[in-house]
């Protein structure tokens, strides 16, 4: 993977994790170390890094972390323990004792996740319903030959492939820049999934690349199919007559009778809640049946 630029903020100027990452020499990171947040802000004016790594002592002050997140413009990763730091807006968390390879994976995934959000499509309108796009958890980086340079674990899971098996291989689906495409795949659990793919041109460490987001939209696809079934159901409801309306009226009447407790209290207050739900549901269904009957009446 091409080198990525990480800005490290640590009180010593070269923090513990940053130092360990820098010692490896083959990790694909270019680490720029500064000792204070103001120095980091000045460094941002020269070039925007791919990620910002914040180490002690600045991870001990949530207000400082919040300010760094506010002006960073890049995903902020804290080197600390304690999930409560996520409330400051950081992208991810790395334990100070994390293994080098685990830390590298977290940094790269955080960058890809942030880039994926930046290119996420807006919610769409379908048959009068506002369907919100599922979270795009799968991320993929392709070179301009269409070969996979990186797949995060969520993408491998959604595509149903073994870990690392696609790296260096052609991506198995057509790549259409700037538009969403859908594909049906067999998941690892033998179920069928509908995936939505979207690719954009981007840069990865200064090298042109293609960033793809992969979302499991199986539920959304099912909802869109259900809207067509609902239209068919509405057509059938136009034929509803007294065979349905009469029992509905009976249900509504007895609900109202029981809610009035003419023969004594019902007891547990939950009975009232259940009866109100039945009453409201029956009223809604009756109103729908009457409206559909009226709309379908040729007179």
pLDDT computed for residue 288 by the predictor: 73
Q: How far apart are CA 74 and CA 44, in angstroms?
A: 10
Statement to judge: residues 37 and 132 lie in one domain: no
pLDDT computed for residue 128 by the predictor: 40
Q: How far apart are CA 91 and CA 69, in angstroms?
A: 9
Statement to judge: residues 154 and 199 lie in one domain: yes
pLDDT computed for residue 139 by the predictor: 81
Q: How far apart are CA 218 and CA 249, in angstroms?
A: 38
Count of domains in the chain? 3
pLDDT computed for residue 169 by the predictor: 92
pLDDT computed for residue 132 by the predictor: 40
Statement to judge: residues 214 and 261 lie in one domain: no
pLDDT computed for residue 179 by the predictor: 81
Statement to judge: residues 75 and 173 lie in one domain: no
pLDDT computed for residue 275 by the predictor: 86
Question: How crowded is residue 151: how many other Cβ atoms within 10 Å of its Cβ?
Answer: 26
CATH code for the domain in which residue 18 is found: 3.40.50.2300
Domain of 54, in residue numbers: 4-118
Statement to judge: residues 114 and 17 lie in one domain: yes
Average pLDDT per consecutive 10 residues, the chain (299 residues; last block may be shorter): 79 70 69 88 86 89 88 89 79 85 84 70 42 57 85 83 87 86 75 84 71 82 70 62 67 82 82 85 77 55
Statement to judge: residues 114 and 130 lie in one domain: no
pTM for the model: 0.43
Q: Within 13 Å of residue 52, how many CA atoms lie on the same side as its CB?
A: 31
Statement to judge: residues 49 and 100 lie in one domain: yes
pLDDT computed for residue 267 by the predictor: 81
pLDDT computed for residue 173 by the predictor: 92
Statement to judge: residues 188 and 289 lie in one domain: no
Statement to judge: residues 137 and 202 lie in one domain: yes
């Amino acid at each position: 993977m091409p080198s990525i630029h990480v800005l490290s903020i640590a009180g010593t100027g070269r923090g513990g994790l940053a130092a360990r990452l820098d010692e490896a020499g083959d990790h694909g990171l270019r680490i720029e170390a500064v000792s204070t947040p103001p120095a980091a802000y000045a460094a941002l004016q020269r070039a925007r890094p791919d990620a910002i790594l914040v180490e002690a002592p600045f991870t001990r002050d949530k207000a400082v972390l919040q300010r760094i997140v506010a002006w960073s413009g890049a995903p902020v990763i804290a080197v600390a323990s304690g999930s409560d730091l996520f409330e400051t807006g950081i992208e991810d968390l790395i334990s100070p004792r994390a293994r080098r390879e685990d830390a590298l994976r977290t940094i790269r995934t955080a960058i890809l996740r942030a880039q994926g959000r930046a290119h996420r499509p807006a919610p769409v309108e379908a048959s009068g319903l506002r369907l919100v796009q599922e979270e795009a958890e799968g991320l993929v980086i392709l070179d301009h030959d269409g070969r996979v340079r990186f797949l995060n674990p969520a993408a491998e899971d959604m595509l149903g492939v073994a870990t690392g098996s696609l790296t260096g291989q052609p991506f198995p689906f057509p790549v259409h820049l700037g538009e969403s495409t859908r594909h049906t795949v067999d998941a690892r659990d033998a179920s069928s999934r509908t995936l939505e793919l979207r690719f954009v041109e981007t840069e990865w460490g200064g090298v042109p690349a293609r960033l793809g987001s992969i979302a499991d939209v199986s539920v959304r696809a099912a909802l869109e199919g259900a809207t067509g079934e609902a239209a068919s159901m509405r057509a059938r409801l136009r034929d509803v007559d007294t065979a349905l309306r009469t029992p509905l009226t009976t249900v509504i009447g007895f609900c109202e009778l029981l809610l009035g407790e003419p023969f004594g209290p019902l007891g547990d207050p939950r009975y009232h809640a259940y009866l109100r739900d039945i009453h409201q549901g029956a009223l809604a269904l009756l109103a729908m049946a009457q409206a559909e009957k009226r709309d379908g009446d040729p007179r």
